[in-house]
């Protein structure tokens, strides 16, 4: 506790860095995965390559990916862009499958009924399919949120500052309190962002109160 | 792009494979260490998960453990165990075990729980003992989901074993961190590519084992198979 009160401003700065690195990939992967998932759910021919491809992406370990991405895209090793790209890829690896399952769970007769009542394809997507896919989509988004927050810490070993810096610093300088603070704060941030997802979903899908826990 | 070519050259350079401390040895170290962790996780996780799935007691605990574990940062565990236990293999072993247990537990639990209750009831009705039901009916039917749990555990352990080199010099993380310290980026990138390939190969092997288990569990019944893959997706998510 003593350590924490003396280093409050550093911890605060690292917390801000951590949020800056974890929120964009979560939003970006949602933005990319919804259309891809819809494509995969709509056409069996695209489904297998899309899902296998993104599934294999998830198999690539995070630390190596943080090093391969700058080499591929020409970012500098310690830039936030590396981190955000890598975490967006991981997010998509989980969310594309989740979105595909979500859109597949929309009953076919509902879709047909909406088409019969004169919805355009675009209108059908926004007003029928997306709201019905919402709850299943939310459960994958929550998984992505929590694992992204936890993965950000790995960047600390290559020098990208986040709450993970408390681990590498604490280890090198032999300070338990630093590491424990880092672990606790990472878990707290993960659950806080998870709760935000649930709240946002409640606001966006007011008719679905009960399902969001599932 | 140049760096990528240099990394491939580094990987193909026979000098990096020849000496006793060379890449081949690192790969074996990496696989042996990861394998040991997954074996211990399986030895603890499968019996406990199976028991919970069979009796239905302790469900809440499993769900809490698996969702909580996802938020735990592995690097944090690794470094704190490193401080407490000192430099060596114990700390990474323990940290990786914490990582591997939840998916194994969840797989064993979800697999046994997804077995049709009517099938279990039928087995009981023809006079099988509880032990026979567990080993002869539930475990074979649950096998694909159990293997799925082992698969995600193995994948995470292999990835994270790279990180373990941060506190103890073993496995493929070693050239990676050495390259980082000495700014030999081709070495770092080469080692990264090697770990990624290793993870992909292990993933593909597990996929084969999993579909073999699925074929054995449900030789003709396509519908049941879908139920299994549903459960599998749930634990993988």
Task: List residues of B whose CB lies inside 8 A of any A CB.
Answer: 1, 3-4, 7, 67-68, 70-80, 82-84, 155, 158-160, 162-163, 166-167, 173, 176-177, 180, 185, 188-189, 191-193, 195-196, 199-200, 203, 233, 237
B136: closest CA among B55, B212, B206, B217?
B217
Q: Residue B117 maps to which CATH number?
A: 1.10.3720.10
According to the model, what pLDDT value does residue A1 have? 65
Higher per-residue confidence, B67 vs B228: B67
pLDDT in tens, B77-97: 988 998 898 877 888 899 899
The closest CB to that of A140, out of B68, B193, B237, belongs to B237
Distance from CA of B83 to the nearest CA of A (A): 7
Separation CA A24–CA B185 (nearest Å): 28
Task: List residues of A whose CB lies inside 8 A of any B CB.
Answer: 56, 59-65, 67-68, 71-72, 77, 94, 97-98, 101, 139-140, 143, 146-147, 149-150, 153-154, 156-158, 163-164, 167-168, 170-171, 174, 176, 179-180, 182-183, 186-187, 190-191
According to the model, what pLDDT value does residue A187 have? 93
pLDDT in tens, B42-84: 999 899 888 888 887 878 888 788 778 888 888 899 889 988 9
Q: Which two tokens stand for residue B108?
A: 């064993």
Q: Searching chain B, which residue's CA lies closest to the CA of residue A194?
A: B71
Higher per-residue confidence, B162 vs B21: B162
According to the model, what pLDDT value does residue B221 have? 55
DSSP string, B11-62: HH-THHHHSTTSHHHHHHHHHHHHHHHHHHHHHHHHHHHHHHHHH-TTHHHH
Q: Do B192 and A65 touch (CB under 8 A)?
A: yes
According to the model, what pLDDT value does residue A210 have? 55
Query: Can you tell me the ipTM of this complex?
Result: 0.81
Q: At what angle do helices A8-42 and A44-59 cross, to 10 degrees?
A: 150
- Name the CATH superfamily housing domain A2-213: MetI-like (1.10.3720.10)
Higher per-residue confidence, B144 vs B229: B144
Q: Do A164 and B180 touch (CB under 8 A)?
A: no
Q: What domain range includes position B73?
A: 2-12+21-236
- Maximum distance among all alpha carbons in chain A? 68
Distance from CA of B233 to the nearest CA of A (A): 9
A126: closest CA among A23, A34, A4?
A34
Number of domains in chain B: 1
Q: What percent of chain B has pLDDT over 70?
A: 90
pLDDT in tens, B162-198: 888 888 777 888 888 888 888 777 888 888 888 888 8
Q: What percent of chain B has pLDDT over 90?
A: 7
- Per-residue pLDDT tens, chain A, 214 aa: give them: 678 888 888 888 999 999 999 999 999 999 999 988 888 888 878 888 888 788 778 777 788 888 888 878 878 778 888 889 989 998 998 898 888 888 888 888 888 888 888 888 888 888 888 888 888 888 889 889 998 999 899 889 888 889 999 999 888 888 888 899 999 999 999 999 999 998 988 888 877 665 544 4
- Phi, psi for residue A106 in degrees, rounded to 5: -75, 120
Residue A201 CB: number of other CB atoms within 10 A? 21
According to the model, what pLDDT value does residue A121 have? 82
Average pLDDT across chain B, whole number: 82
Query: What is the residue extent of each domain of chain A?
Result: 2-213
Map tokens 């069979």 to a residue.
B54
Q: At what angle do helices B59-71 and A176-204 cross, to 10 degrees?
A: 110
According to the model, what pLDDT value does residue B236 have? 47
Higher per-residue confidence, B36 vs B232: B36
Residue A2 CB: number of other CB atoms within 10 A? 7
The closest CB to that of A179, out of B4, B70, B83, belongs to B83
Indicate if the pLDDT at residue B231 is higher than 70.
Answer: no
Q: Searching chain B, which residue's CA lies closest to the CA of residue A146?
A: B71
According to the model, what pLDDT value does residue B143 have? 86
3 state DSSP class of B174:
helix
Residues 6+ apart with CB under 8 A from A20: A80
Q: Do A150 and B70 touch (CB under 8 A)?
A: yes
pLDDT in tens, B213-226: 888 877 765 444 44
A157: closest CA among A92, A77, A73?
A77
């Amino acid at each position: 506790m003593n350590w924490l009160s003396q280093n409050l401003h550093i911890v605060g700065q690292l917390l801000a860095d951590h949020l800056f690195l974890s929120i964009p990939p979560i939003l970006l992967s949602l933005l990319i995965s919804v259309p891809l998932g819809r494509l995969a759910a709509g056409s069996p021919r695209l489904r297998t390559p899309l899902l296998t491809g993104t599934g294999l992406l998830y198999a690539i370990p995070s630390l190596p990916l943080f090093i391969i991405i700058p080499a591929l895209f020409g970012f500098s090793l310690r830039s936030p862009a590396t981190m955000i790209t890598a975490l967006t890829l991981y997010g998509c690896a989980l969310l594309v499958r989740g979105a595909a399952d979500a859109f597949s769970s929309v009953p076919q007769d509902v879709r047909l009924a909406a088409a019969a009542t004169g919805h355009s394809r675009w209108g059908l997507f926004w007003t029928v399919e997306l709201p019905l896919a919402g709850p299943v989509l939310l459960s994958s988004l929550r998984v992505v949120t929590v694992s992204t927050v936890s993965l950000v810490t790995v960047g600390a070993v290559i020098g990208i500052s986040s709450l993970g810096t408390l681990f590498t610093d604490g280890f090198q300088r032999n300070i338990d309190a630093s590491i424990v603070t880092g672990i606790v704060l990472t878990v707290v941030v993960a659950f806080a962002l998870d709760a935000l997802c649930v709240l946002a979903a409640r606001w966006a899908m007011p008719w679905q109160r009960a399902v969001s826990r599932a | 792009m140049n760096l990528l070519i240099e990394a491939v050259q580094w990987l193909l350079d026979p000098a990096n494979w020849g000496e006793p401390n060379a890449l081949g040895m690192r790969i074996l170290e990496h696989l042996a260490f990861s394998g040991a962790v997954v074996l211990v996780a399986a030895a603890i996780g499968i019996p406990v998960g199976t028991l919970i799935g069979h009796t239905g007691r302790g469900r809440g605990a499993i769900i809490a453990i698996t969702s909580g574990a996802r938020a735990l940062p592995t690097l944090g565990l690794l470094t704190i165990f490193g401080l407490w236990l000192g430099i060596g293999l114990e700390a990474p072993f323990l940290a990786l075990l914490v990582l591997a247990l939840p998916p194994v537990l969840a797989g064993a639990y979800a697999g046994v729980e997804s077995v049709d209750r009517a099938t279990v009831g039928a087995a009981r009705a023809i006079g099988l003992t509880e032990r026979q039901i567990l080993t002869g009916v539930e475990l074979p039917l649950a096998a694909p989901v159990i293997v799925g749990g082992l698969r995600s555990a193995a994948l995470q352990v292999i990835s994270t074993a790279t990180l373990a080199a941060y506190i103890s010099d073993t496995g493929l993380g070693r050239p990676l961190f050495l390259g980082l310290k000495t700014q030999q980026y081709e070495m770092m990138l080469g080692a990264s590519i090697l770990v990624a390939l290793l993870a992909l190969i292990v993933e593909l092997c597990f996929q084969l084992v999993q579909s073999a288990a699925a074929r054995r569990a449900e030789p003709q019944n396509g519908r049941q198979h879908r139920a299994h893959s549903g459960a599998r997706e749930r634990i993988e998510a």
